Structure 1
Amino acid sequence: MKSIRVLPASLLIASFVAPAFAETGDAPRRLDPVVTTATPGAAPLADIPMSVSVIGTDALKLADAFLGAEDITDLLTGVDAAVANGTQVAFQIRGIGAVDHQALTPTAAAVYADGVYLATNVQTGLMLYDLERIEVLKGPQGTLYGRNASGGAINFITAKPGNDQTRYVRAGYGNFNRVDLGGAYGTALDNGFSYRLAGRYLARDAALDNTAGPEDAGGVRDEFGLRLGLRWENAGGGELLVRTHYEEDNGINAAPRNDSLDLGDHEIAVAGDGLQDTDNAFYGVSAEYSRPVGRWDLTSLTAFEGYAQQYGFDFDGAVALFGNPDFNANLAYDRSFRQYSQEIRLQTDWAGGHTLFGLSGSVDDFSQTYTIWCGVLDPQTLLGTCPYVGAGSRAGPTPVSPGTAMSLVTDINQSRTALAAFTYNEFDLTDRMTATLGLRVTDERIEGHGSGRHVFDDGTVGYNNVGGLGLAVGSNEIDETRLSGNAALSYDVGPGRAYASVSNSYKSGGFNGEVQNNVTHFTDEGLFDAESVTAYELGYKARPTDTLSWSLAAFWQDYDAPQARIFVNFPLPDGSSITSNSLSNLDAATVYGAEAEMTWQPADGLTLDAGLTVLDTAIDQTTNIGGNAAAFDGNPLPFAPDVSATLGGRYEVALTPGVDASLAVHAKYRGDYYLDPEGLDARMQAGFTTLQAEAAFQFADTGLGVTIWGRNLTDEDYALSGYGFIGYNTFRSDPRTFGVRLDYSF
C-alpha cells in the first residue's frame, strides 16, 4: 500500500482578475461590470483578488459554432488544450497540466459543469449548448476547488430557468455536410416554479482526408444533448434548482497521422481496419438547494455523474509502416464511470469581512477494458489477422504457449473516496486594504486492481511478464491527506486595485490505466505520484470605466513532481524494439511569466479586446527516467508556448430601422510548443494563428436572425496531441470550416 501524508507549510491564493469579454447593452453602449461566481458570492470581477476570465454573452455567440469545450481556448490567452482520442481534453493553464490521454489521469485544470466536478478527462470535452457564461480561473485553486486544480479551474455555467428566459430554435448548415440544430424553451409560473428544456444535435462528415482508406477514418460527428432544469423559488423557505442532462456521441473518432508519412495538410493515411463506431453516453443529475439559516446562508449541492463509453481507432496511424503489414495496431476502449458527490457551504457577511465554511465528499468507480490487435479483430476470440507487434515482447521469457502471441487485453478497476473541509475568509484590514485567507484539508483514498494479458493464436491466454519480473496482475491503494489554500493582500489605490498573492493546489496520483507489462504495474514504483503547484503573483487591475477595462499581472509558479507521460523502448524478439509508455513524475519545473488583458470601447457599437501571455517554463530533472535525466532537464513544459496573444472585436450597427447587423472577428496566436516533455524538435508544433469570424443580421420585431460564421479561417493544420508508437503519431486539427445559421427567438 502506498500511503502519503503531506501537509505543506505554505498557504496560498488566487491570482488575478483578467477583464472579461465585453458585454454591451442598448445604445449608448457601455462596458457593464461583469459578475462572476468564482468566489463564494457573486461579485464584480474588478473586486475579486483572483485570476478569472469570463467568456460572456457576446463571446458565446462565436462559441455557437464550436464543436466542443476545447474550442474555448481560441478565445483565451495562457490557456490551451491537448485533445486525444476524439474528445478527451486536458486543459493547460499557464503551462501547467499533464498531457495524457488515459481516462484515469485527472486534469490539472479542474473542469466543472454548473458547479459539479467532472472527475475524468473523458468528460472534459463536453458538448456546448445553452450556456450563460464560462469562468476560467488561472493559477492553483486549492481552497474552493480542491484537488486536481493545480493549474486552475474552468466552470461551464448553463442558462437557468426563471423569469424572462430566452427561447429560441436554431438550424445551421456548413461545409463537410455539417447539420447543427438546437433550441431552448421554458417558462415561469406564478407559484415560483419555472423550467427550461434545451437541446442540440450536431452531425458532420469527415473533415480530415484519408488518402489510403475509408473516408470516415477522418472523423465523423453524430451527437446530441438534452438538458432539463427545474426551479422552485419557494421550496421550504429556500430555493431548489434541479438539473439533469443526457448526451450521446455516436460518431467515429479520427485516426492519427504517423510522422513517417509524407502527407499534406489535414491528411491522414490509414487502411481502416481499426475503424469503429463510437458509442458514448454521458448523463447526470444535480440538486442545488439554498436558504438562509439565521445570519448564515446555506447551500447544498448533491450530484450524480456517469458515462458509458465504447470507441477506438487505428493506433499506428499508417497502412503498413516500413512496408511491414505486421507493424499495425488498432485499439478499442470499453469504459464505465459513476460518481456521487455532496457539498455543503455556510457563509455569512459580518462587520469587516466575509466567512465561509464548507464540507465536501465524493465517491466514484471506474472500469475499463483496453484491447490492442493487428488487422481485423474477431470479437469472440479477440484475435486479429496478424500478430500485434508488441504482444510477443510482453509474453515474457517463458511463454505459456508455443504459439504466436497475437493481441493484448488490459482490465483495470479503480474506486476513489474523497473528503474535504475548507474555509474561505475575507478581512477588511483598513478602508482600502483587504486580506484573503483560505484553507482546505483533503483526504483521498484510491483503490485499484487489474491485469494485463496476451492472447495466443491457439486460444491460450497468458498474463504479461516483460523481463520475467512477475505476472501483470495485482492491486494497490493510495492514501493521501493534503493541505492547500490561498492568501492575498489587495489595496485600493483609487483608480484601481493592486494585490500580492500566494496560492497552492495539487493533482492526485494514481494508477496507470492502460497496458500492464508485469507485476511492477501495481507496486508503489509503478504508480504515479501527486504533483503540486505553488504560485506567487503581483498584479494590478484598473477600475473599469464606461469604455475601458485593463489589467496586468506577473507570476512565478513552483511546480513539484510534474506528472508526464514517459516513453521507454522495450526489446522485441527479432532484435528491434517497441515504444511503451506510462505516466510518471519528473522532479520539478518552474514557470514564470506575465499577462495583460484589455477591453476597450472606442465608439458606440464597437468593442475591442486583446490579451497577451508571455511564459518561460523549464523542467529541472536530475533523476534518471528510462535511464536518462538529460533527455528532460532544461526542456520547456509541453503545450506551453512562450507567447500566446488574442485580438478581437465586435461591431454592431443598425443597417435600417428594421435590420440590425453585427460583425465579430477574433484571432489567436500561439508560439512554438512541444507535444511532450522530451523537447525534441520533431515533436514541436510551430507557431500559428487561428481566426474566427461571424456576421449576423437580426430582423426587428420578427425574432429572426441569420448568421454566417467561419472557424480556422487561416486553414492551419496543427497537432492537437501526440504519442510515441513505431514513430510518432499526432491527432490533427480541423481545416477551415464555415456555415450559415438561422435563428428564431420568441
Structure 2
Amino acid sequence: MKKNICVRSVALLLGTWLISAFSIAEAIEEILVTGSKRAGTVMTTPAAITAVSGEMLSARGLDELSELQFYVPSVHVGEQLGSKKLAIRGIGDFQLAPGVLVSVNGVVQSSGTSSMLSSMDLERVEVMRGPQGTLYGRNSNGGAINYIAAKPTDDVFGKVKLGFAEYDHLSIEGVYSAPISDSVGIRLAFNHLNAGEGWVDNLMENFNDQEQGEKTNFRLIVEAELSEALNAELLLGRSEVSGPWDHHAFKSVHPELANSSVGLPLVWQGSPVLLTDAPWKIYTGSNSDSNREYDIASVTLDWKMESVSVKSITAFQDWYDYFDGAADGSSVGAFQRFRSIDSQTFTQELNVSGQSGDLSWISGIFYMDDQRAQELVISLPGAILANFIPFPAQFQFSQPTYDTKSLGIFVDATYALSDSLRVGFGVRQTEDDFTDVHTMYTNAYSVEEDRATAVLNDACGGLLTTEWDESAVTMRASVEVDTSDSSMVYGSFSQGYKGGGMDTSVCEDPYRAETVDAFEIGYKATLGDGTTTLTTALFHYNYADFQVAQVVDISASVKNAGDATVDGVEVELMSNITDGLSISGGYTFLDSAYEDFLNVDPLGAAGAGVGFIQNAGNQLNNAPKHSLNVGVMYDVELSTGGNLSLSMNTSYRSRIFYREFGNLDDSQPGYIVVNANANYTSSDGTYGARFFIHNATNEAYFTDLVTSNSQYGRHVPWGMPRQVGLEVTRYFGSK
C-alpha cells in the first residue's frame, strides 16, 4: 500500500510540472572540463565524457559516489564490506587493482579510498568512459572519475546546511570561503552524518542493526598567487567512517533454507541457526564494527608562461581500513572476518603543455610509491548445515605487505589539419615494480560438542617473498571532424593497462596484467540554438588476460580469464524544453562476453563440490545489457517570492551478473530506482531547502554478491531502501 501511495504521489508531482505555460528555453550552460589535462568542454572533447556541476550535485543530493550511477550512463557502483567497486561499461570490478581511476583535483586516489569520497562542496565531477591509459596510465581500463573541489572565492561566502531523514539520519555541512589578502584565498568545507538507526534490521535481539554510525569529512584549500605567472594550491583533507556500515545479508539458493518473513531455524551444536533472505533484514549473531580513516595532503604548482605551462602535483595519502564481524547473514555468525589495511601512498606528477601554431600538446612524468600492510583472518567454524549440505570447517590467517612503485612517461598531442579537421596521438610508457612479503596459515577445524579447535598449517612454507616487474606501452589516436559549427564526429583508438598483482590468500604466482584495445566512433551536436545537446558513441573492446575475482573455499583470489570482448552503444541527451522545463537522459547497450575461460566454480553443482566450468559466451560481471536513466526538472518563480525547482530521476538496469559462471543465482534481476527532489531558494538567496525521496518505490536490489563453498546461499549487500528527508540551508555573503 505504501509503495502504491508513493508511486501516485510521484506521478502527481510530475503532472503538476507539466501544467505550465511554455516559454522560450535558455541555452544549456557549458561546463569546463579538464579530463584530457587540457581545458575544454564536453562537446569539444573527442571522447565519451559526462560532467555534472556542483549545483546539480547539490540539487539532487548526489553526496556519495554510489548515487552518481543513477544519473550517468554506463556507471555501476557495487560495495563489498564497505569498499566501493566501480565499473564503467562493465570494466572495473575489484578493490586491490581497480579498473576505474579516481582522482581529486588531479591527485590519483590510492586503491580503496574511493569508498571515502564525498561529493562535498564540489565544482564538478567528470566521468570519462573508455580506457585512459595514455593520460592516466595504470588501472584506468574502464575510465576515470575526476572530482574537482570548489575553489576559494574573491568575496566572503559561507553556508550551513542541516539535514534530517528517515533512519534517524542527522547531518550538518558547512562551507566558508574568503580572501585573506590580495593574493591568497582559503576555502574550508566539512560535513558530518550521524545515522542513529540502521536501515538493515538485525532480527537477533541484543545485536546491532547494520548500516549505521558516523561519517565525517573535512577539506581545506588554500590558493596563492605567488607571481603573475605562478599559482599554488594546498589541499588538506580528512575523512572518517565508523560503525557497522558494512553488511552481508543472506541470499537463499535453496528455498528450504530461508523464509522471507521469519527465517528457517536449523540446528548447530544444539543451537538454532536462523536465516532470512528478506530485503533489508539480517540475522547476525555478531556486533560487526568498522572504522576507516583517510588523510590527504597535496601541493599543486602551476606556472603559466607565454607559450608553455608547467604543472606539478605532489601528494601524500594515508588510508586505514578496519572491519571485524560476520559476513554470512546467519544467527550464529558462522563466516567471521577480520581485516585491517594500513596504506601510505606518495605520488608526483610533472607535466608541460603548450600551443604552437596548429599543434597543442602535453607531456609529463608520473611516479607513485604505494606501501600497504594488511592483516586478514577468516573463519568458517564447523558444519552448520551438516545434516543438509555438508561443508568443511576452515580457517585462514594472512599478513601480507605490499610495495608498489610505478613510473609513467607520456606525451599527447592534437594537430589541426584545417579549421574542421584535427588528428590526435598519444603514447605512454609505464614501468611497475612490485614486492610482496606475506605469511599465511590455514587449518581444518575439529568441531566437538561445545567447542572448536584448530591446528594451524603454514600454507606457504614460511615467509613468502615475491618480486616482479611489468612494463606496458599504451597508445591513443583520434580523428575529429566538425560537421557544422555545432556538431562533430570523432573516431578513436585507445589502449589501457591494469597492473597484475599477488594473491595473498593463496600461495600462487602473481596474476598477469590486463590490457585492452578500444575502438570508438562518436557524434556530438548542440541543437536548437544551444538548448539541446546530444552525444552518441559506438565502441568495441578487445581484452587480453582479463582479470576476475572469485572466492574458493573462504579465500578471495584473482584469475586471468583469457580474452573478453565488449560491444556497446551509448546515447546521452540534455534539453531545455522551455524556460523552466528541462529533461536529461542516457541509454547504454552492452554486449559483453568471455572468449575462452575454463575456470573452477567453488560452488559446483549441488552436492558435487568443486567443478570446472567453460564460461565462453557468458556475460561479464557488472555489465548489464541495458541501462537507462531519465530525468525531468522544472523551475518556477513563485508569486510569493523565491524559486522552486522540482526534479525526478528514474534509472533502470537489466540483469547484472556478479560471477562469471552464468548462473542466475549469481545475478541481480533488472530493477528501477526513482529519486525525487524539491528545492526552494528564497528571493534574496539567503535561504534554501530541499525535500527528497530516495528510492521512492522502495525497490529491493543488491549491489554485489559473495560466495563460499558452503552451497547454502550467497551473501549480498542491499541497496538503500526508500528514505524521505529534508535539508535546510542558510547562505552568507556572495556566492
Range into which the TM-score falls when normalised by the shorter chain = 0.7 to 0.9
Q: What is the correspondence of 1:626-637 to structure 2 with a 5 Å cutoff?
A: 630-637=613-620
Aligned-partner SS, 2:331: coil
What is the rounded CA distance, in whole Å, between the counterparts of 1:165 and 1:419 in structure 2? 41
Q: Compared with structure 1, are the counterparts of its residues 373 and 95 closer, same or farther at alpha carbon in structure 2 (3 Å cutoff)? A: closer
1:460 shift after superposition: 8.4
Q: Compared with structure 1, are the counterparts of its residues 443 and 481 closer, same or farther at alpha carbon in structure 2 (3 Å cutoff)? A: same
Aligned partner (choices 251, 260, 265) of residue 263 of structure 1: 260
* Structure-2 residue corresponding to 1:356: 362
* Structure-1 residue corresponding to 2:466: 476
What is the rounded CA distance, in whole Å, between the counterparts of 1:348 and 1:132 in structure 2? 25
What is the rounded CA distance, in whole Å, between the counterparts of 2:687 and 2:161 in structure 1? 10
**Contact 2:598–2:615 under 8 Å retained in 1:** no
In structure 1, give the amino acid aligned to 2:234: V
**Structure 2: unaligned runs, 5 residues or longer:** 1-22, 253-257, 262-277, 386-391, 446-450, 602-609
1:272 shift after superposition: 2.7
1:691 shift after superposition: 0.9
In structure 1, give the amino acid aligned to 2:698: D
* Structure-1 residue corresponding to 2:586: 611
Aligned partner (choices 554, 558, 578) of residue 542 of structure 2: 558
In structure 2, give the amino acid aligned to 1:109: V
What is the rounded CA distance, in whole Å, between the counterparts of 1:107 and 1:266 in structure 2? 29
1:61 shift after superposition: 2.2
Aligned-partner SS, 2:226: strand
**Contact 2:394–2:554 under 8 Å retained in 1:** no
CA distances 1:533-567 after superposition (whole Å, capped 9, x unpaired): 11101111113532111122111111211111234
* Structure-1 residue corresponding to 2:479: 489
What is the rounded CA distance, in whole Å, between the counterparts of 2:551 and 2:289 in structure 1? 29
What is the rounded CA distance, in whole Å, between the counterparts of 1:413 and 1:217 in structure 2? 33
* Structure-2 residue corresponding to 1:499: 490
Q: TM-score with structure 2 length normalisation?
A: 0.86
In structure 2, give the amino acid aligned to 1:642: K
* Structure-2 residue corresponding to 1:118: 109
Indicate whether 1:640 and 2:649 are aligned.
no
What is the rounded CA distance, in whole Å, between the counterparts of 2:512 and 2:721 in structure 1? 38
1:236 shift after superposition: 8.0
Aligned partner (choices 398, 401, 414) of residue 413 of structure 1: 401
CA distances 1:160-206 after superposition (whole Å, capped 9, x unpaired): 11324642110010100000100100101442100011000011120
**Contact 2:220–2:237 under 8 Å retained in 1:** yes
**Contact 2:131–2:518 under 8 Å retained in 1:** yes
Give the number of aligned pairs.
663
Greater alpha carbon shift after TM alignment, 264-273 vs 736-745: 264-273
What is the rounded CA distance, in whole Å, between the counterparts of 1:213 and 1:621 in structure 2? 49
Q: What is the correspondence of 1:596-607 to structure 2 with a 5 Å cutoff?
A: 596-607=571-582
CA distances 1:278-311 after superposition (whole Å, capped 9, x unpaired): 2211101000100134531010000011112222
**Contact 1:388–1:406 under 8 Å retained in 2:** no
What is the rounded CA distance, in whole Å, between the counterparts of 2:122 and 2:458 in structure 1? 47
Aligned partner (choices 166, 175, 179) of residue 188 of structure 1: 179
CA distances 1:59-87 after superposition (whole Å, capped 9, x unpaired): 30245363x3122111112110121102x
* Structure-1 residue corresponding to 2:71: 75
* Structure-2 residue corresponding to 1:366: 372
* Structure-1 residue corresponding to 2:595: 620
Q: What is the correspondence of 1:188-267 to structure 2 with a 5 Å cutoff?
A: 188-204=179-195, 205-214=197-206, 216-235=208-227, 237-260=229-252, 261-263=258-260, 265-267=278-280
Indicate whether 1:430 and 2:443 are aligned.
no
Q: What is the correspondence of 1:695-706 to structure 2 with a 5 Å cutoff?
A: 695-701=678-684, 703-706=686-689
1:211 shift after superposition: 2.1
Aligned-partner SS, 2:69: helix
* Structure-2 residue corresponding to 1:447: 435
1:614 shift after superposition: 0.8
1:609 shift after superposition: 0.5
Aligned-partner SS, 1:167: strand
In structure 2, give the amino acid aligned to 1:541: K
Aligned-partner SS, 1:70: helix
**Structure 1: unaligned runs, 5 residues or longer:** 1-25, 321-326, 375-385, 391-403, 569-577
What is the rounded CA distance, in whole Å, between the counterparts of 2:345 and 2:383 in structure 1? 35
CA distances 1:94-145 after superposition (whole Å, capped 9, x unpaired): 11123x3xx5x22111111111111212434422311111100000001111
* Structure-2 residue corresponding to 1:22: none
**Contact 1:118–1:124 under 8 Å retained in 2:** no
Q: Compared with structure 1, are the counterparts of its residues 560 and 217 closer, same or farther at alpha carbon in structure 2 (3 Å cutoff)? A: farther
* Structure-1 residue corresponding to 2:90: 95
What is the rounded CA distance, in whole Å, between the counterparts of 2:54 and 2:163 in structure 1? 20
What is the rounded CA distance, in whole Å, between the counterparts of 1:213 and 1:511 in structure 2? 41
What is the rounded CA distance, in whole Å, between the counterparts of 1:57 and 1:284 in structure 2? 21
1:360 shift after superposition: 0.9
What is the rounded CA distance, in whole Å, between the counterparts of 2:320 and 2:55 in structure 1? 34
**Contact 1:488–1:500 under 8 Å retained in 2:** yes
Aligned partner (choices 94, 107, 112) of residue 98 of structure 2: 107
* Structure-2 residue corresponding to 1:571: none
What is the rounded CA distance, in whole Å, between the counterparts of 1:172 and 1:622 in structure 2? 49
In structure 2, give the amino acid aligned to 1:565: A
In structure 2, give the amino acid aligned to 1:510: G
What is the rounded CA distance, in whole Å, between the counterparts of 2:688 and 2:343 in structure 1? 41
What is the rounded CA distance, in whole Å, between the counterparts of 2:433 and 2:161 in structure 1? 46
1:610 shift after superposition: 1.2
**Contact 2:223–2:231 under 8 Å retained in 1:** yes
What is the rounded CA distance, in whole Å, between the counterparts of 1:597 and 1:702 in structure 2? 32
In structure 1, give the amino acid aligned to 2:721: P
Aligned-partner SS, 1:75: coil
1:315 shift after superposition: 1.7
User: Percent identity over the alignment?
Assistant: 24
Q: Compared with structure 1, are the counterparts of its residues 720 and 165 closer, same or farther at alpha carbon in structure 2 (3 Å cutoff)? A: farther
* Structure-2 residue corresponding to 1:346: 352
